[in-house]
Amino acid sequence: MLTLLCNCTSTKLRGDRIVVSVSDQRLSLIGKEGPVKTYPISTSKYGLGSQPRSYKTPLGRMYVCKMIGGGARAGTVFKSRRPTGEVVRPNSPGRDPIISRIIWLEGLDRFNRNTKERLIYIHGTPEERTIGTPSSYGCIRMRSRDVIDLYSRIRVGTRVYVKRSQLTLTEMPLAARLITASFKGIQNERSGTIGLR
């Protein structure tokens, strides 16, 4: 009897940098060959800024300085960046802890150098129904499955850029570009303007 062993693993495309669009409430992971994946997110309900205790999301250039929670179950609650042993389900009533993964950011611009001290993270939230609208206290929130996926595709040192404006077509994966182009084409048809070429 002949047994064939296959060392086949599904390879995830990794990213070299992250772009966060506040106006789109989306995060785009970009690799060497271009955009890899986009995710819906939530930035601060208090707006944008870097002032201490402002609960605002900082703009500008940053990098991933620490990654916490690799291997933890989806929904694992973290307090002071340590797992508590509790696991919460999405949209658990009255709960708003940091869950699943923590991607800690450090600022690179003069105006956002306090990002690490302000404890600004990309992290999971059980408040998944609020994803897509500004609803955080300064951090960048993601659904558990999305932050776990993002965590697996990046490393400490990955560059992060948070901007007010929309993602450009070069910052979106092909599928997202096609959907955006189709949507704009439909909007143009409805408004009577010339469609995309």
Residue 197: pLDDT band (50, 70, 90) is very low
> What pLDDT, on a 0 to 100 scale, did the predictor assign at position 187?
54
Cα–Cα dist 61/171, whole Å: 16
Asked whether the predicted pLDDT for residue 76 surpasses 90, the reply is: yes
Q: Kindly write down the DSSP assignment for every residue of 75-105, as one continuous string.
A: TEEEETTEEEEEE--TT-TT---EEEEEEEE
Cα–Cα dist 153/150, whole Å: 5
Asked whether the predicted pLDDT for residue 4 surpasses 50, the reply is: no
Residue 92: pLDDT band (50, 70, 90) is confident
pLDDT above 70 as % of the chain: 82
Residue 65: which H helix or E strand, with range? strand 60-68
Rg, the chain, Cα only: 19
> What pLDDT, on a 0 to 100 scale, did the predictor assign at position 162?
99
Task: Tell me phi and psi for residue 162, to 5 degrees.
Answer: -105, 125
Q: How many CA atoms lie within 13 A of 144 on its CB side?
A: 22
Q: Which residues, in sequence order, are bridge partners of residue 87? A: 76
Q: Which of 1-15, 133-147, 170-184 is most confident?
A: 133-147
Average pLDDT on 137-152 reads: 98
Pick among 3.20.20.70, 3.90.230.10, 2.40.440.10, 3.30.1340.30: CATH of 17-166:
2.40.440.10
More confident residue, 192 or 16: 16
pLDDT tens-place string over residues 34-65: 999 999 999 999 999 999 999 999 999 999 99
> Which DSSP category does 131 fall into?
T
CB 134 within 8 A of CB 26: no
Structure-token match 């070429």, residue found: 197
What are the CA-CA distances from residue 105 to residues 26, 153, 188 (Å)? 17, 16, 39
Task: Give the strand pairing for 98-107 and 76-79.
Answer: antiparallel
CB 27 within 8 A of CB 142: yes
More confident residue, 81 or 6: 81
The amino acid at residue 189 is E
Task: Tell me phi and psi for residue 177, to 5 degrees.
Answer: -65, -40
Among candidate residues 104, 107, 105, 102, the one with its CA nearest the CA of residue 125: 102
Domain boundaries, the chain: 17-166
Average pLDDT on 133-144 reads: 98
